[in-house]
Amino acid sequence: MKIMMENIWAAAPRRRPPLDGPAEADVAVVGAGYTGLWAAYQLKRLDPSLEVVVLEAEHAGYGASGRNGGWCSAELPVDAAVLARRHGRAAAEEMRRAAAAALDGIEAVLRTEGIDCDWHRGGTLYLARNRPQLRRLLAAARSRPDGWSLLTAAQARTRLRAEGVLGAAHTPHCARLHPGKLVRGLAEAVERLGVTVHEGTRAVETRPGLVRTVSGDGEGSVRARHVLVCTEGYTPGGRVLTLTSCVAATEPLPAQVWAELGWRGRETVADLSRLFPYIQRTADDRIVIGGCGAGYGDAPYDHAVLRDRLVGMFPVLRGTAITHRWSGVLGLHRRGEPSVRLDPATGLGYAGGYGGDGVALAYLAGASLAALVTGADVPAARLAWTRARAGRWEPEPLRSLGVRAVLACAAGADRHEERTGRPALLRGAICSLFI
């Protein structure tokens, strides 16, 4: 079986010049992933007179923005009931509606800027493949009055012939895309608006009014009224937990395989296991699968787990080549809730903690940051996450021990449920506190 380490979404990056001396701007953005680029884009849309500089240690989209599973989902990494307890029911509902509307906003920008990123808004098909998963599916559908529709096993098979499906649910709030094409197109769009993007420029110090940098050409600095840290899973300090998520892609599949699988709607697909896979059918008829258990930090991961899960769901793929595999990091906050903040006294801002849902949420976070910087009286400036604060994670080695224990517990619960068809009560209860 041919296996390559290349990221299937990657292309030879355009190398923008590094910063090699002092510069000044109204806003300095650290990180040229989705969050930083969306913030820069929406800053210029709100106030075209602003001088905006984006600083990137590698190249635009080097991190999770250019190496994710290609889901643009309106899901939040924190349950709506938890948000309601923390911020009130109205604020939680406003956050949910804003996340769903982010897909409309992204789609509008794609049209306006002429960005072709293989966008297809087919929603997500959630599969239940054992009895405990079916119970979780029914409970999830009852708690979501926003377009979730339940399907019987027979109805699910008319959309996708996966092995052992007992029931399914479909939500329209997700689009499939090519993440590399999106981030490259977005970087070019912000440049057309007059934003300066410096690649190969690592921020070594951020403080009020100043970012100090190093690059192959020497040291540099940007003095700016506002400094926005948009590095998500690469953010230093103890407030962002770094997890590794891995992805694999098959070779392009022939027409007879697709005839057997169905999947004409090209929905994104997941099941209701605790370490769930996220799956898409690409524009060039590959299958991309990710997840099935994150690693802590930059821990190595056995991509064979992804291949085995894929073959378990679709036995017709036995013997299909996995031609690409890659990984990236994501950020998670202590309370599981993303946050966007701007200190008006210092001008320092931050957004992140998306927990793997950043393709859509980064757009919304960029809108919130841009509104807070410019003082625009728009709903994005008043969302609940502008009041959320990320608590500090436990110090090492407690942090790594705890994460690995929870991941092992989730994997054990999934194995138990797959083997017996009965819920893993104790391990499930432990996992529900964290996953």
pLDDT confidence of residue 328: 82
Position 4 confidence tier, pLDDT thresholds 50, 70, 90? very low
**Quick one: 339 and 350 in the same domain?**
yes
Crossing angle for the helix pair 131-142 and 398-420, nearest 10 degrees? 110
CB 19 within 8 A of CB 201: yes
In angstroms and rounded to an integer, the radius of gyration of the C-alpha atoms of the chain is 21
Tokens 């942090």 belong to residue? 399
Q: Last residue of a domain, which of 357, 372, 393? A: 393
Would you say how long the chain is, in residues?
Answer: 435
Between the ranges 291-295, 298-302, 363-367, where is the mean pLDDT highest?
Answer: 363-367
User: pLDDT at residue 1 above 60?
Assistant: no
**Quick one: 294 and 371 in the same domain?**
no
Is residue 325 in some structural domain? yes
pLDDT confidence of residue 296: 74
Q: Last residue of a domain, which of 331, 347, 369? A: 331
Position 23 confidence tier, pLDDT thresholds 50, 70, 90? very high
User: pLDDT at residue 299 above 70?
Assistant: no
**Quick one: 252 and 229 in the same domain?**
no
Is residue 411 in some structural domain? no
Q: Which residues of 250-274 are buried (b: 16+ CB within 10 A; e: fewer)?
A: beebeeebeeebebeebbbbbbbbb
Is residue 16 in some structural domain? yes
Per the prediction, the chain carries an average pLDDT of 92
Is residue 398 in some structural domain? no
User: pLDDT at residue 60 above 80?
Assistant: yes
Average pLDDT over residues 69-78: 94
Is residue 414 in some structural domain? no
pLDDT confidence of residue 230: 98
The one-letter code for the residue type at 304 is A
Position 12 confidence tier, pLDDT thresholds 50, 70, 90? confident
Average pLDDT over residues 338-358: 96
CB 301 within 8 A of CB 161: no
**Quick one: 48 and 81 in the same domain?**
yes
User: pLDDT at residue 354 above 60?
Assistant: yes
Task: State how far the Cα of 361 lies from the Cα of 65, in Å rounded to an integer.
Answer: 12
Q: What is the DSSP string of 83-146?
A: HHHHH-HHHHHHHHHHHHHHHHHHHHHHHHHT--S--B---EEEEE-SHHHHHHHHHHHHT-TT
pLDDT confidence of residue 407: 86
Average pLDDT over residues 115-128: 97
pLDDT confidence of residue 433: 65
CB 377 within 8 A of CB 423: no
**Quick one: 227 and 344 in the same domain?**
yes
CA atoms within 13 A on the CB side of 151: 21
pLDDT confidence of residue 164: 95
Average pLDDT over residues 156-177: 96
Could you list the residue range(s) of the whole structural domain that residue 300 is in? Answer: 124-171+241-331
**Quick one: 211 and 105 in the same domain?**
yes
**Quick one: 142 and 200 in the same domain?**
no
**Quick one: 327 and 359 in the same domain?**
no
Is residue 412 in some structural domain? no
Q: Last residue of a domain, which of 331, 353, 372? A: 331
Overall number of domains in the chain: 2
pLDDT tens, 134-161? 999 998 888 776 778 999 999 999 999 9
CATH number for 160: 3.30.9.10
pLDDT confidence of residue 432: 72
**Quick one: 138 and 202 in the same domain?**
no
**Quick one: 378 and 312 in the same domain?**
no
Cβ within 8 Å of residue 2, ≥6 positions away: 321, 322, 323
Strands (E), 235-355: 241-250, 268-271, 277-281, 287-291, 295-296, 322-332, 339-342, 348-352
Neighbouring-strand partners of residue 349: 228, 342
User: pLDDT at residue 279 above 50?
Assistant: yes
Is residue 419 in some structural domain? no
Is residue 143 in some structural domain? yes
**Cis ω on the peptide bond leading into residue 132 (within 30° of 0)?**
no
The one-letter code for the residue type at 182 is L
Q: 55-59, 154-158, 387-391 — which is least confidently predicted?
A: 387-391
**Quick one: 217 and 95 in the same domain?**
yes
**Quick one: 228 and 82 in the same domain?**
yes
pLDDT confidence of residue 2: 39
Average pLDDT over residues 301-316: 88
Position 402 confidence tier, pLDDT thresholds 50, 70, 90? confident
Residues of the chain above pLDDT 90, percent: 75
CATH number for 347: 3.50.50.60
